[in-house]
């Protein structure tokens, strides 16, 4: 395949992924703001309201592996379209549970609803399938950035959603999920129709062609003629190796996984309890909402710049910068007390540190494992990331109650240290290899 044809396919792939992310992301943003309120209404307990976000996060993690396996078997197009389709079913399930007033059914529906977040996350890897080393992080970052649109527009649909709910005879808090169902279905349809040719299948075809050419060259045959004899068989077929075993074989992949998973745990742990901390110190809901909006902007708005830096400066320097920014974030937020501007600065830095960890880490992971293994390893990464986020969110309330907001930030800062330790081990390993 000619280089200009490959570049055209990559541009088309990224463009269509961005469009689907914007459309589908609106469905995620329009519902997350009311999920806790709906759970509180149906359960009658404020303490149980937090289970809504936990269920969605767990759903995103549980869906990550099946979607990755589907991508491995059938390609990104079918996997991503299936993820958005499952999320559509989940949104409809939330509406049904709200009508019936049945809290257990609501939690089950939220788990299925989490497939939308899983598809949203795995779209970034589809952008990296055909990218080269010089542009991989930027391609991935553009798709991450497009999530900003849904995150900003989605919550503003809550009031229109309530009006739609009343018009359809639904509970008001179920109204936004009508928008979610429509946007998820549209995102899935866009993936099914537009993501052609499939980037993962094209990448595998090119990899197979390169393998054939290399084998022919080793036999002394022209590269454009069939190789003599059978192609060499991999020592370990992909089906016999676990994703974790693949990651452990590469120091770079181990570092990438640690960056993505632990960076997410730090972010969720602090972000989840910041609204509670601010309200306890007298901040009104408008200020709390603005703080979280600025935090989301820190997560996504700068991702193209982060991607550019990861391509120009290298993945590992940006990962290290991300960990240092996360440490600065928890220091500023932890010392903010009643000072709202300091809390806002801390949350923006928290989002930026997450962006560095996510973009650079995901790019490093994509290029540090064999091409055939990537979808399954990426699925494992998203599973671990979401489970770490769910654990961080679940434990943060208890830590806040025992140690206060400063103690919570100090505990979150400790999560950064293993990543820095892995960076040190990676650098030491490379220096020893270079010395041999």
- Going from N- to C-terminal start, the domains of the chain cover 3-202, 245-435
CA–CA gap between residue 169 and residue 175 (Å, rounded): 9
- pLDDT reported for residue 297: 83
Residue 44: its pLDDT value, please? 86
CB environment 272-282: b (16+ within 10 A), e (fewer)? bbbbebbeeee
Q: Which residues 6+ apart lie within 8 Å of 143 measured at CB? A: 14, 17, 18, 21, 123, 124, 126, 127
Residue-wise pLDDT for 337-348, tens only, equals: 888 899 999 999
Q: Counting beta carbons within 10 angstroms of the beta carbon of residue 247, is it exposed (0 to 12), middle (13 to 18) or buried (19 or more)?
A: buried
Whose tokens are 């075809």? That residue is 205
Which one has a higher pLDDT value, 83 or 234?
Answer: 83
What does the alpha-carbon distance between residue 193 and residue 27 come to, in Å, rounded to a whole number? Answer: 19
* 272, two tokens: 């989840």
What would the CATH number be for the domain defined by 245-435?
1.20.1250.20
Q: What is the pLDDT of residues 146-199, one digit of tens each?
A: 877 776 676 667 778 888 888 999 998 898 899 999 999 999 999 999 999 999
- Domain 245-435 in the same topology as domain 3-202: yes
- pLDDT band of residue 329 (cuts 50, 70, 90) is very high
Question: 3-202 is classed in which CATH architecture?
Answer: Up-down Bundle (1.20)
Whether 29 contacts 150, CB under 8 Å:
yes
DSSP secondary structure, 297-360, as one string: HHHHTTHHHHHHHHHHH-HHHHHHHHHHHHHHHHHHHHT-TT-HHHHHHHHHHHHHHHHHHHHH
Bond preceding residue 129 cis, omega within 30 of 0: no
Indicate whether 92 pLDDT > 80: yes
Distances (CA, A) of 73 to 70, 196, 399: 5, 16, 42
Residue 335 φ/ψ region, left for φ over 0, alpha for ψ in the -120 to 50 degree band, beta for the rest? alpha
Where do we find the tokens 């991300």? 322
Residue 234 has pLDDT above 50, yes or no: no
In 154-198, alpha helices (H): 158-167, 175-194
How far, in Å, CA of 187 to CA of 64, rounded? Answer: 17
List helix spans (H) across 196-314: 199-218, 243-248, 251-280, 285-300, 303-313
Q: What's the mean per-residue pLDDT of the chain?
A: 85
Give the residue from 166, 186, 184, 183 showing the smallest Cα distance to 175: 166
Tell me: pLDDT of 375 over 60.
Answer: yes
């Amino acid at each position: 395949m000619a280089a200009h044809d490959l570049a055209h396919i990559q541009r088309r792939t990224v463009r269509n992924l961005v469009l689907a992310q914007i459309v589908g992301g609106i469905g995620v943003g329009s519902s997350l703001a009311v999920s806790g309120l709906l759970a509180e209404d149906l359960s009658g307990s404020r303490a149980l309201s937090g289970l809504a976000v936990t269920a969605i996060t767990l759903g995103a993690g549980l869906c990550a592996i099946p979607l990755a396996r589907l991508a491995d078997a059938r390609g990104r197009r079918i996997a991503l379209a299936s993820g958005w389709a499952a999320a559509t079913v989940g949104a409809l399930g939330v509406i049904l549970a709200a009508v019936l007033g049945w809290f257990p059914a609501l939690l089950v529906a939220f788990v299925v609803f989490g497939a939308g977040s899983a598809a949203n996350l795995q779209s970034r890897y589809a952008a990296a399938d055909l990218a080269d080393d010089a542009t991989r992080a930027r391609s991935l970052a553009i798709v991450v950035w497009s999530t900003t649109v849904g995150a900003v527009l989605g919550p503003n649909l809550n009031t229109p959603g309530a009006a739609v709910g009343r018009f359809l005879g639904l509970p008001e808090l179920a109204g936004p999920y009508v928008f979610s169902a429509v946007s998820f279905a549209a995102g899935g349809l866009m993936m099914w129709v537009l993501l052609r040719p499939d980037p993962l299948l094209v990448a595998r075809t090119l990899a197979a062609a390169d393998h054939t050419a290399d084998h022919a060259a080793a036999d002394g045959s022209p590269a454009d003629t069939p190789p003599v004899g059978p192609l060499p068989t991999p020592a370990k077929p992909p089906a016999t190796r676990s994703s974790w075993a693949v990651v452990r074989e590469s120091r770079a992949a181990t570092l990438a996984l640690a960056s993505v998973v632990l960076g997410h745990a730090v972010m969720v742990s602090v972000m989840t309890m910041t609204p509670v901390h601010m309200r306890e110190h007298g901040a009104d809901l408008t200020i709390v909402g603005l703080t979280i909006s600025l935090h989301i902007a820190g997560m996504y708005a700068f991702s193209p710049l982060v991607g550019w830096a990861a391509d120009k400066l290298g993945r590992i320097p940006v990962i290290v910068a991300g960990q240092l920014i996360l440490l600065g974030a928890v220091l500023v937020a932890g010392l903010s007390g009643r000072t709202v501007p300091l809390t806002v600065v801390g949350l923006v830095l928290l989002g930026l540190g997450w962006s560095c960890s996510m973009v650079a880490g995901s790019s490093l992971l994509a290029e540090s494992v064999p091409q055939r293994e990537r979808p399954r390893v990426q699925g494992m990464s998203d599973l671990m990331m979401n489970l770490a986020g769910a654990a961080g969110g679940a434990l943060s309330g208890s830590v806040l109650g025992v140690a206060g907001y400063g103690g919570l930030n100090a505990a979150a800062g400790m999560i950064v240290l293993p990543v820095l330790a892995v960076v040190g081990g990676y650098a030491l390993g490379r220096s020893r290899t270079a010395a041999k």
